[in-house]
Amino acid sequence: MKNITLLIGFATVVTFSSCHKDSEKKANPKEEKSSIEKAGHTQGEITFVADPTYKNIVDAWVATYTNDYPKVKIKVDYQVEDLAVKNFYEGKYPIAIVGKELDEAQKSYLFNKTTIKYAPSPIALDATILITSIDNPIDSISENTLKNDIYKETNKYVFDRANSSNFNTINTKLNTKVPTGQKVTSIEDFDQMIEFLQKSKNAVGVIGYNVLSDKDSKKVQEYLTKIKILKLVNKESKTVEPSLENFRNGSYPFTRFVYILKNEKGFGIGAGFTRFAGSQQGQLIVKKEEMQPYYLYKREIILNSNPI
């Protein structure tokens, strides 16, 4: 009888507890919904769009995030910045990783189409740098020289891609634009750009800082036997080199933020990925990629967006 009594008592407690939990769920529907929304960032599939300038860092973020959440599948379509931004504000992608925010007209267009208020999140600090042949006698170039000459001589200035983050950074900072009818010289493959610069020793390549930032890389060390990174004479007539310190203090003129633009309902994969990229783990990945973390040095960063 004693055993039977205990068994019945246990069954009574379980039943009561179960009923109590059911009543809690009914009494707190918001908590139940919150739990479902929170799980949204841990499973499912999504496609981002990103400027190929940031391929190294984006691939590293995606690999780590999907390793932490194996039920998540992330595909990244790499498109030059202007196209990536266009496809984002037209609602074709919920997440874009680019070097600028939307302007007011683009924000309005996106909201009218999706009724979702987009959110920009600065995640890292990057820069556009200039490179040339190791045999070119110059070691620096001024902002004024660039502003006056960049579209005057065909094939002297070679971009990694037209309409990319680096292309836009140069034009935004210098307040320049491509003359009507003129073509921009671009070479997407970096090894081919190196070959071009070796043959055209006075030419200047326009690329992203992170391409050559990892000085411990054997590949980068090999590149630097063939080309060199130019210093810049800024509008204060100070010669500065592209370095993380000069990015933070604002003395290097071609610095920009890397943004994750989000247009997603609820707390889904995009929101989870953005939060991860801004977390300590995500920012350490930024640092490992030899880029400047945004959140670890937020108060030290100064960007001067005024054109010369």
Pairwise CA distance, residues 26 & 81, whole Å: 47
Pairwise CA distance, residues 161 & 142, whole Å: 22
pLDDT of residue 216: 83
Number of domains in the chain: 2
Is residue 88 domain-resident?
yes
Do both 203 and 231 map to the same domain?
Answer: yes
Within 13 Å of residue 114, how many CA atoms lie on the same side as its CB? 20
Contacts of 35 (CB under 8 A, 6+ apart): none
pLDDT of residue 298: 47
Do both 216 and 239 map to the same domain?
Answer: yes
Do both 59 and 93 map to the same domain?
Answer: yes
CATH number of the domain bearing residue 241: 3.40.190.10
Do both 218 and 142 map to the same domain?
Answer: yes
Do both 83 and 102 map to the same domain?
Answer: yes
Amino acid at 90: E
Do both 242 and 266 map to the same domain?
Answer: no
pTM of the predicted protein model: 0.80
Q: What is the DSSP letter of 186?
A: B
pLDDT of residue 24: 46
Do both 139 and 112 map to the same domain?
Answer: no
Do both 82 and 134 map to the same domain?
Answer: no
Classified as helix, coil or strand, 101 is coil
pLDDT of residue 302: 52
Print pLDDT tens along the chain (308 aa): 444 333 333 333 333 344 444 444 444 544 444 444 457 899 999 999 999 999 999 999 999 999 999 999 999 999 999 999 999 999 999 999 999 999 999 999 999 999 998 999 999 999 999 999 999 999 999 999 999 999 987 789 999 999 999 999 999 999 999 999 888 999 999 999 999 999 999 999 999 998 898 888 899 999 999 999 999 998 889 999 999 999 988 899 999 999 999 999 989 999 999 999 999 999 999 998 888 999 864 444 555 545 44
Do both 216 and 235 map to the same domain?
Answer: yes
pLDDT of residue 214: 82
Within 13 Å of residue 231, how many CA atoms lie on the same side as its CB? 12
pLDDT of residue 197: 96
Domain hosting 196: range is 126-249
Do both 136 and 64 map to the same domain?
Answer: no
pLDDT of residue 213: 86
CB 291 within 8 A of CB 165: no
Please state the three-class secondary structure of 229-265 as a single string. Answer: ECEEECCCCCEECCCHHHHHHCCCCCEEEEEEEECCC
